Every structure is written in C-alpha cells, then in structure tokens.
Amino acid sequence: MIVQTALDQMVKAQLLRRQSTAEDTNLGAGYVFKHALTQEAAYRSLPHRQRSVVHRRVAECYEQLFAERLDEHAAMLAYHFAEAGDQTRALSYSLRAGDHAMAVYAVAEALLYFDRALALVVAGCPAIEEQLLHLFGRRGRALELESRFEDADDNYALMERFAVDRSQARLELAAVLAQTKLRSFVNQLFDPVEGRKLAERALALAETLDDRRSQAEIYWDLMNQARFNVGQQEEAIAAGEHALEIARAIGWQEQVAAILNDIADVFADSGRFDEGNAALEEARTLWRDLGNQPMLADNLSNTGVWRIMQGDFQGAIVCFDEAHEISTRIKNVWGQGYSRSVRGIAYWQLGRYDQTIEDFTIGSALSDEAGFLIGQVLPRIQLAFVYLELGCPHLGLEVMQRLSHSIATPVPQFTPSLSVVLAAFQEINGLAAAAGFRGSPDDVDPMQGFWVFNFASL
C-alpha cells in the first residue's frame, strides 16, 4: 500500500507514467519514467552498493516470474546479474542469450552476447570447460556465418591458448579442429597444406581422447581439403566415406548430412553421378528433418546445379528459388549469393538473358559481401561469356579485367580457367595477353562439371 501511494504521487508529479497495459501480464501494472534524464538521475542517486542490490532483486524476480521462459529473458538477466556483480550467473545467461538469438538466425545479436560472455571470461570470471567449449564454439560459428573468417580464426586461437594454459585436452582438440575446418573450406583462409598439418594434430588428440565425433569431423575436413585440390578426388572419396562410416556408427545425423552434402560433389567430379545424386537426396531429407535452414538452402542450390547438368533447367530454377527464399528469410547473405549465382546459369540455358545478367551481377555482388570466393569469381566469368554471346565482347573484357585481381584465389583448380578466359577476351578485343594470364584450355580441370567453359566458341 505504501509503495502504491508513492507511485501515485510520482505520477501526479509527472515523474512517472502509468502504462495502460503491462509488457507482460505476469508483471502486473507497469510504470515508466516520463523522461530518460529523470530515470538516469534517479539511478545515479543510488549508492553503488544499493544499485547492486536493486539489480540482483530485479534479476531474481525475473527468474521466479519467468522460470519456464528464461531463454526469452536471458539477455535481461545477464545484464542485471552483471550489474549486481554476479559474474558467474551473468556468464551463464549471456551464453543462453546468444543461443536464443542464434536459434532465430539473429547472428549479429548473438555475437553481442557471446562477446559479453568472452569479456567476462577474459576478465577472470570462473568458467568450466563445458562453458568454454560452448562459448568459443558458438562465437566462432557466429563469426563464420557473418563471413568474418579471420576473426573466427582469432577466436579459435584464443580458445587454444586457454586450453593450453588450463591443460584442458578437450578444449585444445576443439580449438585445433575449428582451425582445421577454416582451412578446409573455400574462404580467405583456405590452405590445404596447413589444414592437413592441423588435421594430423587434431586426429592425434582425438584418438588419445577416443573422441569419435571429432574423428568424423577431421576426416570430413580431409575430404574437403582434397576435393578442392585438382586430381585428388579418390583421396577425397576415401576420407569422406570413412567420415561417413564413423558418423553413421555413432548416430550423428547432422554430421551425416554435412558429409553427404559435400561428398556428392566429389562423386560428380569422379563421374559417379548416381551415387552423388543419392547422397544429395539423403542429405536434403536430413536437413529438413533437422530444421537446419542454412544447410537446407545450400543443399537445394547444389541440387539445382545437378539438375542443370541433367538438362532440367526449370526444375533447377525451382530449387534455386526455394534456396533463395530460405536464405533471404533467415538473412543468410552467403546463401543468397550462391542461389542467385547458379540460378543465372539455368536462365542462361533458357535464353533469358535479362534474368541471367541480373542474377550473375547481383549474385556475385552478394558473394562479395559474404566473402564467398567461388561466387565472387565464377558468375563473373560466366557473365563475360553472356556478353560475348550477345555480341558485346568489350563488356566481357571489362568484367574480366575487373576480376583480374582475384586471379590469386586460393582455389587452385579455378586459376587456369581465369587465366585462359582473360587471355581469350583480350585476344578477341585485339589486345595482347597480359603477363601472368597466359594459358591453354588444356590447363582447365575437365572434371569440374558444369563449371567447364566452352573455349571452342572463342
């Protein structure tokens, strides 16, 4: 009653304003300060010790009121416990807030919470090994989804330092494995030589710990290192099938889907199309069942590429459209760039040049934003050929000249293609081939499926 009287008096004095409806019915009637400055002055008037008490009471009140919905309020709880000086609970709720944001694909928001959690740990907040595994793993994944690969690598290097300092073998394995993965997929850090060294370190740790999950991931990484190197398809298949065997044996469905998604391309490069198509279909079913939207979109784009190879251009467009819709809805720029880049190929084959040019142009620009190297390079090469077909070789040359700075892409099987195409367009336009861009169509890997270019038309 005394509290209500005080609140009524502050409303009359126009310090507070009563909300007509509370933000949450569990909280009852709500009041807000009419002016932010008034709120700040009231807060600053409290002694520091009393502020901590208030924050703790607010946090504990939230814990009681929303015991069944703590994840929804984790960010608020993390803030109040941090201000109350309870760093342990602040860390726990920061991690939960990050996970909650990741679950709805709010990756940038998730990073804010993981960064706060990291700041607490660096400042000395006690953290058990499970929390460190969770923090560095989820933070690194969020950075990867934002295409901040160098920042992700720094995150994993810090993770390894924590592991060594604390003699935590599981944490060290996770850190080395994460660094391996960054060098096994197409991004700015792709480096199969360094990746293999890291994989060997990770495999030794995994065998010592009898960690079958990590072993499955390591062989998956070895498969990808090999498949992005010319002439190593058989090695890639052997590593991929071993990874798949381990993942199936331990019932790890998500990893099974990831391996199937990638090994399909290796089967295609080796001419084993039926096996590749079956792998893609099984992976797609698993991604739908698991509710993994980014990987479902990736699989759909891959499936669309296969349909192009089979001459089913309309069926391919259906796949690309669904992949683009999913990627747009979850704000996955990488997926948007990929789906539009490859959809342009289907429109090209159908003679729809306006849509082709739009998809290649926008798809490559989105790939620039996402740091998706293949999407940055190949759609532009294809766009140059479109201009050639339309009788505008000078526009094709402009595209290739702007692309020439990307010749040093760390994906070796595409470097000869880039060199040959640029030299060819220079010749068509009556220019001497630039030094360093000479090549022959024979240099182009013939197993690169739909990426092989028709040099005879030049």
Q: 359 pLDDT band (50/70/90 cuts)?
A: very high
Tokens of 236: 């890639």
Six token digits for residue 321: 């459209």
Of the two residues 181 and 7, the one the predictor is more confident about is 181
Percent of the chain with pLDDT over 70: 78
What b/e sequence results for 23-57 when a residue is b if at least 16 CB atoms lie within 10 Å of its CB, and e otherwise?
eeeeeeeeeebeeeeeeeeeeeeeeeeebbeebbe
Backbone angles phi and psi of 189, in degrees to 5: -100, 5
Say whether pLDDT at 53 is over 90.
no
| SS3 state at 18 | strand
Q: What are phi and psi of 184, to 5 degrees?
A: -110, -10
First-to-last C-alpha distance (Å) of the chain: 88
Query: Over 90: is that where the pLDDT of 42 sits?
Result: no
Judge contact between 19 and 31, C-beta under 8 A: yes
Residue 38 has pLDDT above 80, yes or no: no
Residue 357 has pLDDT above 90, yes or no: yes
Give the confidence band of 45 by pLDDT, cuts at 50, 70, 90. low
Nearest to 400 by CA among 374, 375, 426: 426
Does residue 116 surpass a pLDDT of 70? yes
Q: Tens of pLDDT along 136-155?
A: 999 999 999 888 999 999 99
Between CA 330 and CA 456 the distance in angstroms is 42
Query: Which pair of tokens denotes residue 80?
Result: 């109040």
User: The tokens 């309309």 sit on which residue?
Assistant: 314
How remote is the C-alpha of 130 from its chain's centroid?
A: 23
Q: What is the mean pLDDT of residues 4-20?
A: 58
401 vs 432 pLDDT, higher one: 401
Ranking 109-113, 156-160, 433-437 by mean pLDDT, the lowest is 433-437
Q: Is the pLDDT of residue 436 over 50?
A: no
Whose CA is closest to 340, among 368, 359, 323, 358?
359
Q: What is the DSSP letter of 442?
A: G
> Tell me, what's the pLDDT at 452?
38
Question: 335: which residues sit within 8 A by CB, 6+ positions away?
Answer: 294, 297, 298, 301, 323, 324, 326, 327
Which one is predicted more confidently, 400 or 172?
Answer: 172
pLDDT given at position 416:
60
- Closest among 335, 339, 332 to 318, alpha carbons compared: 339
Residues in the chain: 458
The Cα–Cα gap between 11 and 231 comes to 77
- Across 130-134, 187-191, 319-323, 436-440, least confident range: 436-440
Q: Would you state the torsion angle of the CA atoms of residues 129, 173, 187, 337, taken in this order, to the nearest 10 degrees? A: -50
The average pLDDT across 109-123 equals: 97
Q: What is the mean pLDDT of residues 23-33?
A: 56
E strand spans, 311-375: none
115: DSSP letter? H
* Cα→Cα distances 123→35, 46, 57, 365, 419, Å: 34, 26, 24, 40, 51
Residue 172 has pLDDT above 60, yes or no: yes
Q: Pick the residue with more confidence: 6 or 86?
A: 86
Residue 173, judged by CB atoms within 10 A of its CB (0-12, 13-18, 19+), counts as buried
Kindly tell me if the per-residue pLDDT of 16 is higher than 90.
no
Cα separation, 47 vs 290, in Å, equals 51
Q: CA neighbours within 13 Å on the CB side: how many for 452? A: 13
Range from 183-187, 353-357, 371-375, 445-449 carrying the lowest mean pLDDT: 445-449
Instruction: List the beta strands (DSSP E) in 215-289.
Output: none
Q: What is the mean pLDDT of residues 249-254?
A: 98
Extract the tokens encoding 101: 């944001």
Most confident among 23-27, 81-85, 351-355 (mean pLDDT): 351-355
Confidence of residue 64 (pLDDT cuts 50, 70, 90): confident
For the cut 70, the answer to whether the pLDDT of residue 360 exceeds it is: yes
Task: Show the DSSP H helices in 66-128 as ranges.
Answer: 74-83, 87-103, 107-122
| Residue 381, number of CB atoms within 10 A of its CB | 23
As a whole number of angstroms, the distance between CA 229 and CA 269 comes to 12
Confidence of residue 438 (pLDDT cuts 50, 70, 90): very low
Does the pLDDT of residue 280 top 70, yes or no? yes
| 31 three-class SS | strand
Helix then strand count (H, E) for the chain reads 21, 2
User: 206: helix, coil or strand?
Assistant: helix
pLDDT at 232: 86
16-19 and 30-33 strand pairing: antiparallel
Mean pLDDT of 255-259: 98
Between 410 and 30, the more confident residue is 30
Distance (Å, whole) CA 159 – CA 298: 29
Per the prediction, the chain carries an average pLDDT of 84
Instruction: Cite the beta strand spans of 108-260 per DSSP E.
Output: none
pLDDT tens digits, residue range 69-83? 888 889 989 988 888
444 — pLDDT class (breaks 50, 70, 90):
very low
- Cα distances (Å, whole numbers) of residue 143 to 121, 150, 325: 18, 9, 23
